[in-house]
Amino acid sequence: MRFSPTFLDDIRDRVPISNVIARRVNWDKRKTNVSRGDYWACCPFHGEKSPSFHCEDRKGRYHCFGCGVTGDHFRFLTELEGLSFPEAVQTIADMAGVPMPVADPQMEKREKERTSLLDVMEMATQFFQDQLQTANGARARAYLRDRGLTGRTIETFRLGFAPDSRNALKEFLAGKGVTKEQIEACGLVVHENVPVSYDRFRDRIMFPILSSREKVIAFGGRAMSPDAPAKYLNSNETELFHKGNVLYNFARARRAMQGANGEGTIIAVEGYMDVIALHQAGVANAVAPLGTALTENQLDLLWKMTSQPVLCFDGDGAGIRAANRAADLALPHLKPGRSVRFALLPDGKDPDDLVKHEGRAPFDKVMAQAKPLSEMLWDREARSGKFDTPEARAELEARLRQLVAVIADENVRRHYQQDMRDRLNSFFQPQFQNRGGGERRNFGGGNGGGSFRGQKGGAPAGPRTPVAASDRLARSGLVRGHQDNAALRECVLALTVINHPSLMLDDYDEIAAIDYDNRDLQKLWSAMLGAAAVVAGPHLTRDYLMECLDVAGFGPLLKNLDQQVRNARLWTATEAAAMEDAREGYRQALAFHKRAKDLRWQKIELERDIAQATEAGDDSEIDRLMRASQEVHFEALRLENQEAIIDGFGVLSGRVKGAASH
């Protein structure tokens, strides 16, 4: 029976090769590093007294430095245990808990079709590469040159150009004998709900996306026109391509890491250009998700290559939120020797910016300062408010306990619990006593009545909030951050755009960049932008977006958002509002949203500066910073009051579509 490469890869990936070999050898305890999946033993193929037989789970390979044997799971079983190849496959499949494929003519036919689709994708890649070198590709070549890419880098990553034509690729492939069904199956044309299919990628720089076997399975396209509805557009899901299961540059990065004498790691960055710029600067072990937040399957891919990948994010608000989402994603799946670290870039910089002018040194410095996951979680929670009451401290402790409880591995969970207890004990101690034993300055760290859980000693572990917000302000969307229910302003912003998607025709980049505090809205926005990127112009309708979001499971959230804005009588956010009113309501909500975020960041920065000034004993600087903090506090109140006044007129806002202006 012939087994498909997909099936063999799947069962190999599910079973660590050390589990297969351990049935016949005893691992050397001194040389073996279990946490890294690195094993040594005396070779089972020839007699020896010192261990020279080596296997690595990440590579799925073994090698003996004495007799030279090498191979994978199946070769070990066929050569050492004398099994036939089908018997070896059956053994690994049983260990993986995967049923053996049944001989099926339809399956064999599908595998052949899959192979033919890979041939079509290769033709498309060559077409795009050739187009980049034509007169039509001059602007694209200039763009890549301005981004600092060399001809060698362009060739290495096989970058290309899709001409601004509805039929150029389709006609090229048809001329090569490729059928209409094959072109559609590869996702190279838009063919559903349109009278005549047309090229999916037009006037875009093309980035081929490769499988782990280094076959082109999809494309990413970067728009050349600033008016394009989506700056980046990926292939749709196909037989070859499942976006959440693929990392850009996976195979090349894996080779680079394996060539680092076992000391390498994998760095996950945010975009194609980041990966390519880093490669050109000499950092070849970088990968990227495909325009979406990191998925569980992509995280598993990272862990198959290295025990502790580094997740690298921009240092701005959006980057920090993405890092926090990745932390929450990784937490349940931690195991001994399997974690992640986080590298946060300077605000306003991405990896491309860092290496463009000064080479890799600034980027290496950022990597050297990467934080472990435990520190990332602590920083997020400890900086989320003020903890000057027992209730607030208890809330922080409960929140940390709830976070750590999701870790499935009992041993790792126990160590995280201990780590968080130690941090809490240090954080909640009396601090900042004036020289001479006088008055104590407390900025949320306690009331001088002894340390949390009876511990003594320690240093401040984070910023303190010097000015207490009013009850109304603390409940508002301005300062509360992540909540179960989104702030009304954020509800208005999201629902207005979804109910009036034509807003994206004029303000797509600004809309795509909106950073929500509410986590549910973050997920909703990502799904909405993904749905909007598939269609353009008149095809982008409210009904289309609502259907896509409902299928994705956001129906209850949308219903809740609609109820909130209707209860507040903010009719500009509803479907019934006239376009001019909806646009005005959107711009007003966005202005409040941006100003609120600016004030929140000012507040955080002042808290940090006050903590530093207190440690230095600079009373004059503390007083200056306290005054500045009070100004930010009162500005937040003014903004909250202004927004409340405008919200109060919601009953008057919004014309019904087609009605005359008031």
Report yes or no on 255 lying in a domain.
no
pLDDT at 604: 76
Please give the residue range of the domain that contains residue 497: 474-652
pLDDT at 167: 93
Residues 494 and 609 grouped into a single domain: yes
Residues 296 and 218 grouped into a single domain: no
Report yes or no on 123 lying in a domain.
yes
Q: How far is CA 368 from the centre of its chain?
A: 21
| Cβ neighbours around 412 below 10 Å, total | 19
Report yes or no on 448 lying in a domain.
no
* Number of separate domains in the chain: 4
Report yes or no on 447 lying in a domain.
no
Rounded CA-CA distance 124/201 in Å is 11
Q: How far is CA 480 from the centre of its chain?
A: 24
pTM: 0.56
Calculated CA dihedral for residues 347, 351, 355, 360, nearest 10 degrees:
110
CA-to-CA separations, 641 to 474, 482, 488, 637, in angstroms, rounded: 13, 21, 14, 6
* Coil, strand or helix at 372: strand
Q: What digits encode the pLDDT tens for the residues 347-380?
A: 778 888 888 877 888 999 999 999 999 999 999 9
CA atoms within 13 A of residue 525's CA, in its CB half-sphere: 25
Tell me if 531 sits within 8 A of 544, measured CB to CB: yes
Residues 110 and 92 grouped into a single domain: no
Tell me if 38 sits within 8 A of 30, measured CB to CB: no
Residues 199 and 296 grouped into a single domain: no
CA atoms within 13 A of residue 207's CA, in its CB half-sphere: 23
Last residue of a domain, one of 46, 72, 96: 96
Burial of 562 (0-12, 13-18, 19+ CB in 10 A): middle
Residues 51 and 191 grouped into a single domain: no
CATH of the domain at 310: 3.40.1360.10
Tell me if 549 sits within 8 A of 524, measured CB to CB: yes
Report yes or no on 437 lying in a domain.
no
Report yes or no on 380 lying in a domain.
yes
Residues in the chain predicted with pLDDT less than 70, given as ranges, are 1, 103-114, 258-263, 429-486, 509, 533-539, 636-662
The tokens 């903004």 sit on which residue? 639
Residues 511 and 409 grouped into a single domain: no
* Coil, strand or helix at 569: coil
Residues 389 and 275 grouped into a single domain: yes
Last residue of a domain, one of 72, 96, 120: 96
Nearest residue to 496 (alpha-carbon basis) of 482, 481, 511, 484: 511
Tell me if 602 sits within 8 A of 618, measured CB to CB: no
Axis-axis angle for helices 555-567, 519-534 (nearest 10): 110
Q: For 280, phi and psi rounded to 5 degrees?
A: -65, -30
Nearest residue to 288 (alpha-carbon basis) of 318, 317, 260, 252: 252
Tell me if 78 sits within 8 A of 88, measured CB to CB: yes
Report yes or no on 20 lying in a domain.
yes
Q: How many helical (H) and strand (E) elements, i.e. helices and strands, does the chain have?
A: 26, 15
CA triple 404-410-416, angle to 5 deg: 35
CA-to-CA separations, 74 to 40, 211, 289, 505, in angstroms, rounded: 19, 22, 31, 55
Q: Which two tokens stand for residue 173?
A: 């492939």
* Coil, strand or helix at 482: coil
Residues 91 and 112 grouped into a single domain: no
Residues 417 and 275 grouped into a single domain: yes
Q: Which two tokens stand for residue 467?
A: 């000015």
Residues 518 and 620 grouped into a single domain: yes
Residues 121 and 90 grouped into a single domain: no
The tokens 């195991």 sit on which residue? 335
Tell me if 299 sits within 8 A of 289, measured CB to CB: no
Last residue of a domain, one of 431, 454, 485: 431
CATH of the domain at 38: 3.90.580.10
CATH of the domain at 162: 3.90.980.10
Report yes or no on 226 lying in a domain.
yes
Residues 116 and 86 grouped into a single domain: no
